[in-house]
Copies of this chain bind each other. A is one copy, B any other.
Amino acid sequence: MAENTHRVGPVVDFTRSPHAVLRPVPVNAVKLHDTFWEPRLRRNREITLPAQLRQCKETGRIDNFRRASGRKQAPFQGLFFNDSDVYKWAEAAAYSLATHPNPKLDADLDAVIAEIAAAQQSDGYLNTYYMFERAPERFTNLKDMHEIYCAGHLMQAAVAHHRATGKTTLLTVACRLADCLYAHFGPEGKHAACGHEEAEMALVELYREVHEPRYLELAQRMVEARGQKPPVLGGSPYHQDHLPFLEQQDFVGHAVRHLYLACGGADVYAETGDPAYRATLDALWTSLTQRKMYVTGGAGSRWEGEAFGADYELPNDRAYTETCAAIGSVMWNWRMLHLTGETKYADLMEHTLYNAVLPGLSLDGTHYFYQNPLSDRGKHRRQEWFGCACCPPNIARLLASLPGYFYSVAENSVYVHLYASGTATISLPSGGEVTLTQQTLYPGNGIVFITVERSTGDAQTLTLRIPRWAEGATIQNNWRHGAIVHAAAGGYVSVPMPQVGETVQLRLPMPVQQIESHPYVLVNQGRVALQRGPLIYCLEQADHADADVWNIHLRRYTDMTPDLVPDLLDGVTVLRGHGIAHDLTGWSGALYAPRTSKAKSEGRPVAITAIPYYAWANRESGPMQVWLPITG
């Protein structure tokens, strides 16, 4: 596969969506060469993707396709939705090929696609679980068996593969499967949906890729199939079947599913512009961000049902905060950003990426968290793989496509959403094309230089995201010469596109902030979380030989000093300061005691070092916590 022979597509193709106000750029438009993301993306390509393909092979996930195609006599292996992991891996591999062509990976992917294609049935049906003796049960239990969910992941992989390589090998399979779904669940079929949402957004993306309006129609039917009377999925909040989508006001039930439904709703809205969709999406966003979200951006408070909790129910030790839910939120906010052009979606997308997705992956790129607690005694450790392995390839596909999330365009303006050193060549709807270079140590430092390397045609403005936390941000056009202007936090600020060779300097102040929770989050009362720039911090035991980090209190007016430590945790900016360490004086094994009965521990000063939360559990195990008690 040669580079440049094919015009690569974006992540979620709003290019022609009538109700999107921003347009994404091709995944390969951006070349990162920063110290934060580029090493992670390389690790994703070089270590994670091969390791995951090996896992898929060793756990029978590939064999299941061979079996389905009649090439292997063996029982079905693993969980009934294991096909989806192979599809997510294929999607990740495709995006990786888009940014970094690699003949070995290209061949590996072609081989996997051949396995997939061979397993497709003559009517387009494809699910390796429902083969042979189980074939009569196809589409008989949509609520529980994830058939359409798996189909959705196949479509997303196919779309990514086509966008990345121009090849139609997987796209053809996806279209045949989508046609099969349309025959069963289109206007001539049953009004139904899958218990696990995913196909909704996938069908809209497939529609965008092949311009087949039936796919959009089917996506909309599926979004709107929920919450009917009688219910098609049992009517439970777990399946988001308790209310019609257009009446939903709150995130409930299985967190990944509801976030994926929101993605599907946003995709349908981008094409149809139904204002009722927009109202629902807004209500859901309010539900998430004002009542049901962790300070990390993570979502899903309950282990039972991998579910959202009640309003303000945000336990730290038993936070479920599935990595996939965070990924769902990134995908959804990416969509909302393009529908609206509003900073708050990009802010949350970035915040969730750093603080709720990244913790799901070890620094070595081969171990994963499924759940992401915000406090722990040291028992929660990342695993190499899971029986239900949804998270690992989900992280891989997001990281592989990440360059596509940095910029968007609108008419003759370039929008900069994320900051990292790199070069981007961006075509504008107005016909212009501009090549920009970012130079920055972000997220460790808030100074960003953006230089225009090349510019043709009409590229009039550069629109910079000023994150909500960046109070006092400034922009200097024509660095060293131009005026320094203040930029309001929490907005996009447009400046004239610099001349070729000119540099814009953006300064995003990154003071250490003590974040408080709404008082109804009872577990966080009297506590603060530390945030600097886009990063949430935690205390981890490995940095505190002298005190249990569960017993360290912050002083109310503590100054914490950022300190870049290049050889710690792949290079992190830690926060250093002093706290008060309490010991367990007077407790001697008791669980409860009258306040007056115990020797009073005044505590002793102790040096504290906070690390970015995403980096926890990469050293020896021990207590960790994000929310720190505040003293006097």
Contacts and interface: CB of A to CB of B under 8 A. Distances in A.
A588 to B, nearest CB: 10
A141 interface: no
Contact of A525 (B519, B584, B629): B629
Nearest to A625: B522
A131 to B, nearest CB: 29
A252 to B, nearest CB: 13
A309 to B, nearest CB: 7
A295 B516 CA distance: 27
A591 interface: yes
Interface stretch (A314-322, A385-393, A458-466, A498-506): A314-322
A518 interface: yes
Contacts of A517: 591-592
A551 interface: yes
Contacts of A377: 310-311
Nearest to A553: B525
Given A516-B598, A592-B295, A522 B375 contact: yes
A326 to B, nearest CB: 16
Interface string A470-514: 000000000000000000000000000000000000000000011
Given A318-B309, A520-B550, A522-B625, A290 B594 contact: no
A103 B72 CA distance: 73
A593 interface: yes
Contacts of A568: none
B310 A591 contact: no
A528 interface: yes
A592 B351 CA distance: 13
Contacts of A591: 289-291, 293, 517-518, 521
Contact of A594 (B514, B519, B527, B593): B514
Given A315-B315, A377-B310, A516 B291 contact: no
A58 interface: no
Contacts of A286: 589
Interface string A226-246: 000000000000000000000
Pick the most buried of A304, A377, A519, A584: most chain B CB atoms within 10 A of its CB: A519
A595 interface: yes
Contacts of A317: 310, 313, 315, 522
Nearest to A320: B304
Interface string A363-379: 00000000000010101
A582 B520 CA distance: 11
B313 A587 contact: no
A303 interface: yes
Nearest to A550: B520
A515 interface: yes
Contact of A515 (B310, B316, B593): B593
A528 B519 CA distance: 17
Given A377-B310, A518-B584, A593-B515, A318 B302 contact: yes
Given A316-B522, A519-B550, 11 more contacts: A309-B318, A469-B594, A514-B596, A515-B595, A516-B592, A516-B595, A516-B598, A517-B591, A518-B590, A522-B550, A525-B629
18 contacts: A286-B589, A290-B589, A290-B591, A291-B591, A293-B591, A303-B304, A304-B304, A514-B594, A515-B592, A515-B593, A516-B598, A518-B587, A519-B551, A522-B523, A522-B550, A523-B523, A525-B527, A525-B629
